[in-house]
């Protein structure tokens, strides 16, 4: 029995050839050097911040080379598929400006682009054309080993300290004749299809990585499964077929796939296809108990994108941070060009880290504060209101009741050389602003009361004028202070015993009474926003303490 006859027995309905398919997936018409790359998640509905990072990198390289980024859903492992898995991925990434030029656009099966279907479970026959081709060439074979037999083999390998896997002498189904194969298939025995590896474990294969350079591995000699019993391919085989047909020039993916690198090289070479370029991205990591480890979906809340939404971490700040991690030169460039868009920076694979990159929330927090300090108060107001709508409806009511009032508060110490940097996340706004709303205002009653506070009523009634400029305001505070023996710092310092205190102490008292804090944005502005009556109310409330 010839290989062709066996292939026809296994795939009687597959009549297309690789050549036929090639015509359906013509070469893309793109400028020289354009990078075609993809994001290829399983539709689990979960986006890990590491995946966002990889996607951000892929989007950046595709955009700056006038190339293409497409989305491919890898659902050949049907157990991992969840409802709304696709839209969750698309919507989650869109917020970070990671959009796809091609691929599925919703959960209803719609997609854009000419290189689909972009969902692997819809490509079964396409993969089978390639499997059939290998069968015809005698480079693949059906394997009838059941789980029990494979387990016995594994135990034997363990005992004899042999390498684990289905290869060489261990690959028993490799040696069956086509007649034996055909007979067992006709008898209804379950089987899968394995690659008949042509690799020699004692020989080296050099695989080139765009980030890490040349890497040497033993050649792959394992007869890996390429087609499962449900007719769908394994990840490795689908990777070969899809990235070949879809014209991927660069495979940008997590470094957990480095171990499969020699196998993937081998697959492309066995078909005589050009091997795409690979860039394996180092994982985002954190330091725990002095040790560096990968950010874990199980242990680290910040691994999930939901963490960023819930805290109200600005999308653009996250992008800035990802850019900082992606290329070592970015941070310096951004500091020199604070107004320039991220896309104006030229990212390079060679500037990406070969070792795990520290994902540091303190650093992110710092970048958020910097970023928010550059926003116009009106824009920040809108972002915060949008955030509150979802995560804090109660505070949203107060915050949006009088937009001018909230914008006024956000605008304090904003458009100036050294702007205020107390807000990192949208959720911080309530923490920094609650005292501006009478509904939330309350003293920490355990704090010791300032017995001199009474004099502030005199100040409010006889000195404070809402229309004063900041300078006039301060002059009046000084004048008022003198009346009660509080003098400017310069005088006070010379002979502190002679005076009750210095002018700053008046401001301190006032600040504490209206904000319950010892530090706040510019007091003059806060007083102006609160207005005279409410300030007097607060002083009276305080005096009753």
Nearer to ligand GLU, 73 or 318 (CB): 73
**Backbone angles phi and psi of 69, in degrees to 5:** -120, 125
CB 333, min distance to ligand GLU, A? 28
- Stretch touching ligand GLU by CB under 6 A, among 34-42, 84-92, 286-294, 483-491: 34-42
CB 245, min distance to ligand GLU, A? 15
Reduced to 3 states (helix: H, G, I; strand: E, B; else coil), residue 418 is coil
CB 286, min distance to ligand GLU, A? 21
CB 384, min distance to ligand GLU, A? 35
Give buried/exposed letters for 146-167 (b at 16+ CB in 10 A, else e). Answer: eeeeeeebeeeeeeeeeeebbb
Nearer to ligand GLU, 281 or 514 (CB): 281
CB 87, min distance to ligand GLU, A? 18
Q: Compute the CA torsion angle 529, 531, 537, 539 (nearest 10 deg).
A: 70
Rounded Cα gap, residues 202 and 216, in angstroms: 12
CB 73, min distance to ligand GLU, A? 9
CB 306, min distance to ligand GLU, A? 19
Which strand (E) or helix (H) includes residue 142?
strand 140-143
Nearer to ligand GLU, 246 or 320 (CB): 246
Nearer to ligand GLU, 123 or 528 (CB): 123
> Closest by alpha carbon to 245, among 18, 91, 461?
18
Give Cβ neighbours of residue 65 (< 8 Å, ≥ 6 apart).
31, 33, 34, 35
For the window 361-380, what string marks contact with ligand GLU as x by the rule CB under 6 A? --------------------
- Stretch touching ligand GLU by CB under 6 A, among 17-25, 40-48, 164-172, 430-438: 40-48
> Closest by alpha carbon to 86, among 97, 68, 100?
100
Nearer to ligand GLU, 129 or 281 (CB): 281
Nearer to ligand GLU, 116 or 138 (CB): 116
Nearer to ligand GLU, 41 or 85 (CB): 41
Nearer to ligand GLU, 40 or 90 (CB): 40
| Candidate list 36, 37, 41, 503; residue touching ligand GLU; CB under 6 A | 41
Nearer to ligand GLU, 297 or 363 (CB): 297
> Considering only residues 58-87, where is the footprint of ligand GLU by CB under 6 A?
74
**Backbone angles phi and psi of 446, in degrees to 5:** -75, -15
521 is a contact residue toward ligand GLU (CB under 6 A): no
CA distances from 456 to 460, 506, 512, 534, 543 (A): 6, 8, 12, 13, 10
Owner of token pair 């508060």 = 409
Reduced to 3 states (helix: H, G, I; strand: E, B; else coil), residue 111 is strand
CB 292, min distance to ligand GLU, A? 22
CB 260, min distance to ligand GLU, A? 9
> Considering only residues 261-320, where is the footprint of ligand GLU by CB under 6 A?
none
Nearer to ligand GLU, 60 or 503 (CB): 60
- Stretch touching ligand GLU by CB under 6 A, among 35-43, 147-155, 269-277, 490-498: 35-43
Nearer to ligand GLU, 237 or 308 (CB): 237
Residues in the chain: 545
Instruction: Enumerate helices (H) and strands (E) in the chain, giving the number of each.
Output: 23, 16
CB 252, min distance to ligand GLU, A? 7
Nearer to ligand GLU, 112 or 254 (CB): 254
Q: Could you give the count of Cα atoms lying within 13 Å of 401 in the half-sphere of its Cβ?
A: 10
Rounded Cα gap, residues 30 and 70, in angstroms: 15
Give the binding-site size for ligand GLU (rule: CB under 6 A).
Answer: 9
| Candidate list 42, 327, 406, 515; residue touching ligand GLU; CB under 6 A | 42
| Candidate list 253, 286, 430, 511; residue touching ligand GLU; CB under 6 A | 253
- Stretch touching ligand GLU by CB under 6 A, among 56-64, 151-159, 253-261, 533-541: 253-261
Q: Are 242 and 72 in contact (CB under 8 A)?
A: yes
Q: Using H for helix, E for strand and C for coil, what is the string for 337-396?
A: CCCCCHHHCCCCHHHCCCCCEECCHHHHHHHHHHHHHCCCHHHHHHHHHHHHHHHCHHHH
Which strand (E) or helix (H) includes residue 51?
helix 49-64
Q: Are 481 and 487 in contact (CB under 8 A)?
A: yes
CB 314, min distance to ligand GLU, A? 28
> Considering only residues 455-474, where is the footprint of ligand GLU by CB under 6 A?
none
| Candidate list 6, 35, 40, 530; residue touching ligand GLU; CB under 6 A | 40
Rounded Cα gap, residues 442 and 514, in angstroms: 10
Pairing of strands 277-281, 192-195: unpaired
> Closest by alpha carbon to 223, among 183, 258, 171?
171
**Closest residue to ligand GLU in the complex (CB):** 253
> Considering only residues 212-251, where is the footprint of ligand GLU by CB under 6 A?
239, 251
Nearer to ligand GLU, 162 or 304 (CB): 304
Site residues, ligand GLU (CB under 6 A): 40-42, 74, 239, 251, 253-254, 257
């Amino acid at each position: 029995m010839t290989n062709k006859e066996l292939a026809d027995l296994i795939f009687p309905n597959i009549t297309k050839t690789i050549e036929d398919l090639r015509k359906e997936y013509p070469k893309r018409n793109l400028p020289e050097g354009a990078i075609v790359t993809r994001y290829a998640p399983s539709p689990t509905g979960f986006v890990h911040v590491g995946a966002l990072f990889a996607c951000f990198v892929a989007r950046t390289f595709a955009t700056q080379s006038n190339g293409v980024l497409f989305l491919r859903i890898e659902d050949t492992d049907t157990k991992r598929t969840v409802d709304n898995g696709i839209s969750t991925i698309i919507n989650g990434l869109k917020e970070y400006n990671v959009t796809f030029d091609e691929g599925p656009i919703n959960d209803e099966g719609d997609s854009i682009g000419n290189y689909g279907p972009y969902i692997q479970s819809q490509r079964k026959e396409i993969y089978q054309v390639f499997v059939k081709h290998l069968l015809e060439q005698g480079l693949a074979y059906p394997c009838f080993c059941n789980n029990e037999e494979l387990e016995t083999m594994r135990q034997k390998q363990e005992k004899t300290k042999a390498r684990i896997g289905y290869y060489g002498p261990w690959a028993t189904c490799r040696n069956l004749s086509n007649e034996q194969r055909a007979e067992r298939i006709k008898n209804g025995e379950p089987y899968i299809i394995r690659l008949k590896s042509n690799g020699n474990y004692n020989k080296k294969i050099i695989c080139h990585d765009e980030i890490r350079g040349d890497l040497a591995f033993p050649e792959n000699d394992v007869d890996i499964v390429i087609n499962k019993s449900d007719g769908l391919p394994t990840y490795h085989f689908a990777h070969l077929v899809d990235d070949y047909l879809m014209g991927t020039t660069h495979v940008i993916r997590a470094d957990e796939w480095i171990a499969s690198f020699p196998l993937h090289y081998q697959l492309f070479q066995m078909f005589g296809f050009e091997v795409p370029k690979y860039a394996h991205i180092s994982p985002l990591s954190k330091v725990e108990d002095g040790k560096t480890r990968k950010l874990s979906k199980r242990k680290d809340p910040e691994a999930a994108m939901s963490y960023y939404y819930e805290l109200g971490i600005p999308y653009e700040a996250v992008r800035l941070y990802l850019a900082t991690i992606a290329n070592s030169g970015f941070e310096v460039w951004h500091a020199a060009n604070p107004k320039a868009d991220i896309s104006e920076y030229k990212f390079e694979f060679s500037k990406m880290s070969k070792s795990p990159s520290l994902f540091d929330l303190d650093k992110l927090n710092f970048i958020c504060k910097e970023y928010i300090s550059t926003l116009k108060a009106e824009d920040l107001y809108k972002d915060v209101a949008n955030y509150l709508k979802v995560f804090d409806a109660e505070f949203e009511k107060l915050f949006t009741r009088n937009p001018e009032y909230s914008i006024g508060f956000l605008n304090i110490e904003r458009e100036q050389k050294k702007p205020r940097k107390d807000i990192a996340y949208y959720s911080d706004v309530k923490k920094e602003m609650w005292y501006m709303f009478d509904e939330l205002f309350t003293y920490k009653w355990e704090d010791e009361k300032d017995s001199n506070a009474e004099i502030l009523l005199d100040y409010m009634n006889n000195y404070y004028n809402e229309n004063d400029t900041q300078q006039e305001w301060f002059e009046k505070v000084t004048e008022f202070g003198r009346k009660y023996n509080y003098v400017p710092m310069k005088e006070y310092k010379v002979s502190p015993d002679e005076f009750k205190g210095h002018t700053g102490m008046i401001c301190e008292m006032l600040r504490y009474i209206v904000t319950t804090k010892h530090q706040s944005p510019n007091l003059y502005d806060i007083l102006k926003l609160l207005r005279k009556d409410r300030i007097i109310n607060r002083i009276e409330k305080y005096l009753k303490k």
